[in-house]
Every structure is written in C-alpha cells, then in structure tokens.
C-alpha cells in the first residue's frame, strides 16, 4: 500500500524527472570525455602515419620504386615496426612490396581509410588498421598505416565503463529517490492519519514525533502547536457560550417574568411604567454586553490604529480618577493618582481611557471597602507604564491568565455587577498598543501594570 502511494506520489515523479535530467548530464559528460579521448589518440596516430608517409615519399623521390621497396622491406623486418602496415602496388594493383597481400577493398587511391585484415604475424583473427593512401608520380599506389586494434579496444572499454557508470548512477539515484520518497510519503501519511483521527474523534489526537529534529519533526511540532491553539480556542468558545448563556439567562428570565405578570394583571399606568423601565434597563445591559463583545473584536482585528497619536498617560489617568472619584467615595475608598507629571505613549486616547477606566472600576468594585486604590504613571526602565493597585483580596496566581478570557469571572465576583468583559477589553487594548501586561501580588491586593513601548522622539 505504501509502495503504491510512493510510486504514485508527485514527489516520486519529480524525483524521476530529476534523475532523467541528471542522467542526461552525466551521459553528455561521458560522451564528451569519450570523443575527446578518441580524437586525441587518433590525432597522435594520424600524425605518426603522416610522418612515416613523408619519409617514404622522400625515399621514392630519391631512389624511385626500387629505393621505396627496399625501405619498406627494411621497415617490415624491424621489430619496432611490427604494428605498421605497408603496401606498394603498381598501376595494375600487382603487389610490389609490403606486408599485405592485396589492396584493401573499398579503399580509394588517396585519403584516409580504416579496414580489417589478417596480417602474416597473426595465425588467426583480424586487426583494425587505419591507413592513408596516395598515388605516386609513376602511377604506383602506396598505403601506409598502423594497427589500431589496441585503440579500438581501449575505446570499447571506455564505452562500456561509461555505460556501466551511467546505469549505476541512475540505479542508485532511483533507489535513493524511492527511499526518500517513501520516507516523505510515510511522514505525510502519518499527518493524514492524525488528521482523519481528529475529524473522527476530536482534537485530542497529535502527530507523533520521531525525535529526528528534522524539518518533518518541526512541521509536526508546529501542527501540534496549532492543534493545541485550536483546542484552546474551541474550549474558550465553549466557555464563552456557557458564560453568555448564564449571564443572559438572569435578565431574560426577569423580563419574561415581568411581562407575564403584566399580561395577566389589570392595566396600571404606574406599574406598567415601572415594568417598562426595568425591562429597558435589562435590555440595555444585554445590548451593552453585545456592544462590548463587538468592540473587543474590533480592537483585536487592529482596525483602530488610524487614531494613534502621542498622548500623555497622566492626563488620561487623571480624567479616569476624576470620573470614578464619586464611586470610590460611595464605598469609602481612597482613589489617588501618583507618579511622574508626564508619561508619553503612542496610542488611541479613547481606547486607553477605556482600558484604564476598566482597571480602576475593577479595583474599586473588588477591592477592600474603606481601602485604597492607587493609579501610578511613570517612565520605567523598560518603557512608559501605568499601574493600578488595590488592597483587596486580589486574584490567585493560578487565575492570572484566565481572567483575560471573555466572560470569565472569579467565584467571589460571580454575584457582583459586571459581565466579565472588562479585562478582556484591557487585554485587547494592550495587544493593539504592543503593551505588556503584568499582574503582581500587592500584599495585600493586586497590582496591575501596563508597560508600553518607548515613544520615538
């Protein structure tokens, strides 16, 4: 099954194309080496034959036919010329001198030729001879050549070696391609199998790692991280859905109860007006919840960066403190502003106001009655920052990350006014502005810090 998928994969087809191109390149290289070697060796042999022909032509010019015949006989008798071929014939093709018995067939009166013959030195078999023919001034024809059987055998060995090397390289490349493709297809099938398992049974499955730390393991790690993120988001969606249902059930139940009571009771102007007012208040709370969700989504999509300007955090914090001063007095809480007089950041003034307002509102609501809430703006070493500190019960350390989820509320805050979206909006504003969120124990209480990137000047 895996072999069939391997042979049918696009990776294997690409590998075959690469092997074909590589084979052509290797074949071209060997062909160049072959023809270059053949040309070089033949040129050397041809130059030697031409030199010998010139020497014989000189003997003919000096001593005529008899002198040429004598020189040919002398060369034939010399063992150093055992692989040389000579033939001198008259105009009627009668042999006058040489070690060939007849003028070779298909050989003209002049020019280069190659033929096979059986010289007297061989008991059996033939040799390949390369020779040059010419017609002498007296009408005689002279053939001078050499046995090139060794050259022919050498070139045959080069051809055989070249073909063997090309076949071996292509075979090894094909085997390596199948192995690599099989491994690739195996890893892809592992990912596909995990994907199918996820579709059938849920997001609990993960792609197995082989510990090779190669690119496939890195892909698997990233996919597993993506699955972890998706599973987390799905859990958040489930939690948000449950929290929305929980938070909407109470006001909707109250509205239905009032309307049902009014439906069955006699009409009363004052009672109907009070019912309508209470119902409108509950509807406003529900609409406010959805407006907050929409605003958080808008901030998270970074659609509001067009309003970014250089602003002073101290001025914004001062306006928030002034706005919530009356609310703090109602619960006898001291609300103070401290820190540097000027802390500049680049951002959206309205969004920063909302974020700081949410932090101050939370500190007043969940702090200790009769306690203290301090808003501090300063230029920290890591950048401009604003902090809101209270002396209430604080937030458990294991809940620090969860409080930024939408509709998430601590158990002790479940029955206090709010919808669990305040810190989600703060987190969205902080992310939009590139700010770092820090939650610390204020011993007692909670210290919430927003640290912004340094403003360019």
Question: Contacts from 400-403 at CB under 8 Å and sequence distance 24+?
Answer: 400/439
DSSP result, 206-270:
-PPP-S--SHHHHHHHHHHHHHHHHHHHHHHHHHHHHHHHHHHHHHHHHHHHHHHHHHHSPP-HH
Q: Is the pLDDT of residue 412 over 50?
A: no
pLDDT of residue 414: 44
Task: Write out the two tokens for 353.
Answer: 């106001």
Contact 352, 311 (CB under 8 A): yes
* Pure H helices in 265-312: 269-300
Secondary structure (3-state) at 309: strand
The C-alpha angle with vertex 129 and arms to 126 and 134, in degrees rounded to 5, equals: 135
pLDDT of residue 165: 80
Pairing of strands 446-451, 309-312: unpaired
pLDDT of residue 375: 92
pLDDT of residue 315: 93
Element at 387 (helix H, strand E): strand 383-390
Q: How far apart are CA 407 and CA 400, in angstroms?
A: 14
Element at 159 (helix H, strand E): helix 149-201
pLDDT in tens, 84-136: 888 898 888 888 888 888 888 888 778 888 888 876 554 456 788 889 999 88
30 compared with 90, residue with greater pLDDT: 90
Mean pLDDT of the chain: 79
DSSP conformation class of 415: T
Q: Is the pLDDT of residue 411 over 70?
A: no
pLDDT mean over 330-343: 88
Return the number of other C-beta atoms located less than 10 Å from residue 220's C-beta.
20
- Quickly state the pLDDT bin for 246 (edges 50, 70, 90): low
Listed residue (404, 347, 391, 105) closest to 232, CA to CA:
404
Residue 38, CB-side half-sphere exposure with 13 Å CA sphere: 14
pLDDT in tens, 343-397: 999 888 888 998 899 889 888 888 888 889 999 999 888 889 999 999 888 777 7
Contact 283, 255 (CB under 8 A): yes
6 compared with 225, residue with greater pLDDT: 225
- Quickly state the pLDDT bin for 413 (edges 50, 70, 90): very low
pLDDT mean over 65-92: 85
Residue 259 Ramachandran class (φ > 0 left, ψ -120 to 50 alpha, else beta): alpha
Share of the chain above pLDDT 90, in %: 8
DSSP result, 63-114:
HHHHHHHHHHHHHHH-GGGTTEEEEEE-TT--EEEES-SSPPTT--SSEEEE
Report if pTM > 0.85. no
235 compared with 432, residue with greater pLDDT: 432
Which sign, positive or negative, has the C-alpha torsion 239, 245, 247, 248? Answer: positive
Listed residue (428, 418, 166) closest to 305, CA to CA:
428
**Beta-ladder partners of 146:** 84, 130
Task: Write out the two tokens for 412.
Answer: 């002790």
Contact 85, 101 (CB under 8 A): no
pLDDT in tens, 260-285: 777 777 777 677 777 778 778 777 77
Q: How far apart are CA 196 and CA 190, in angstroms?
A: 10
Angstrom distances, CA of residue 43 to CA of 39, 40, 130: 6, 5, 12
Specify which of 16-25, 27-36, 148-157 reaches the highest per-range mean pLDDT. 27-36
User: 401 φ, ψ to 5°?
Assistant: -75, -30
User: 451 φ, ψ to 5°?
Assistant: -110, 120
pLDDT of residue 387: 92
pLDDT of residue 220: 82
Contact 140, 95 (CB under 8 A): no
- Give Cβ neighbours of residue 359 (< 8 Å, ≥ 6 apart): 388, 426, 448
Element at 169 (helix H, strand E): helix 149-201
Pairing of strands 372-380, 334-339: parallel
Q: How far apart are CA 27 and CA 35, in angstroms?
A: 12
pLDDT of residue 404: 67
pLDDT in tens, 414-431: 445 555 677 788 888 888
Q: Is the pLDDT of residue 406 over 80?
A: no
DSSP conformation class of 272: H
């Amino acid at each position: 099954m895996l072999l069939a998928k391997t042979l049918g994969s696009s990776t294997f087809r690409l590998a075959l194309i690469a092997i074909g191109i590589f084979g052509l390149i290797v074949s071209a290289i060997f062909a160049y080496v072959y023809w270059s070697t053949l040309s070089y060796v033949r040129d050397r042999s041809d130059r030697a034959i031409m030199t010998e022909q010139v020497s014989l032509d000189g003997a003919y010019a000096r001593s005529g036919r008899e002198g040429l015949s004598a020189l040919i006989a002398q060369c034939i008798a010399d063992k150093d010329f055992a692989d040389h071929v000579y033939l001198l014939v008259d105009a009627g093709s009668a042999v006058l001198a040489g070690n060939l018995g007849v003028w070779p067939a298909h050989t003209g009166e002049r020019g280069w030729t190659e033929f096979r013959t059986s010289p007297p030195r061989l008991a059996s078999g033939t040799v390949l001879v390369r020779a040059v023919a010419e017609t002498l001034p007296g009408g005689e024809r002279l053939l001078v050549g050499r046995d090139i059987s060794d050259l022919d055998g050498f070139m045959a060995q080069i051809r055989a070696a070249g073909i063997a090397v090309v076949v071996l390289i292509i075979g090894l490349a094909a085997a390596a391609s199948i192995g690599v493709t099989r491994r690739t297809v195996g890893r892809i099938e592992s990912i596909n199998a995990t994907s199918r398992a996820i579709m059938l049974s849920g997001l609990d499955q993960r792609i197995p790692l082989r510990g090779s730390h190669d690119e496939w393991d890195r892909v698997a790690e990233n996919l597993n991280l993506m699955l972890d993120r998706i599973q987390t988001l799905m859990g958040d969606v489930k939690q948000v859905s449950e929290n929305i249902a929980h938070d909407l059930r109470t006001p909707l139940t109250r509205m239905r109860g009032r309307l049902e009571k009014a439906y069955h009771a006699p009409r009363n102007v004052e009672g109907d007006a009070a019912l309508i007012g209470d119902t409108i208040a509950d509807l406003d709370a529900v609409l406010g919840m959805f407006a907050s969700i929409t605003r958080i989504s808008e901030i998270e999509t970074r659609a509001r960066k067009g309003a970014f300007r250089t602003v002073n955090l101290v001025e914004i914090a001062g306006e928030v403190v002034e706005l919530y001063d009356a609310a703090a007095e109602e619960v006898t809480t001291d609300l103070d502003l401290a820190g540097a007089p000027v802390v500049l950041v680049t951002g959206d003034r309205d969004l920063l106001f909302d974020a700081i307002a949410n932090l101050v509102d939370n500190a007043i609501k969940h702090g200790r009655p009769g306690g203290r809430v301090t808003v501090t703006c300063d230029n920290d070493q890591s950048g401009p920052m604003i902090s809101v500190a209270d002396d209430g019960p604080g937030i458990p350390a294991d809940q620090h990350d969860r409080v930024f989820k939408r509709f998430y509320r601590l158990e002790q805050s479940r029955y206090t006014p709010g919808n669990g979206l305040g810190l989600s909006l703060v987190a969205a504003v902080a992310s939009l502005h590139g700010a770092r969120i820090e939650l610390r124990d204020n011993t007692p209480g909670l210290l919430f810090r927003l640290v912004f990137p340094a403003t360019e000047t």
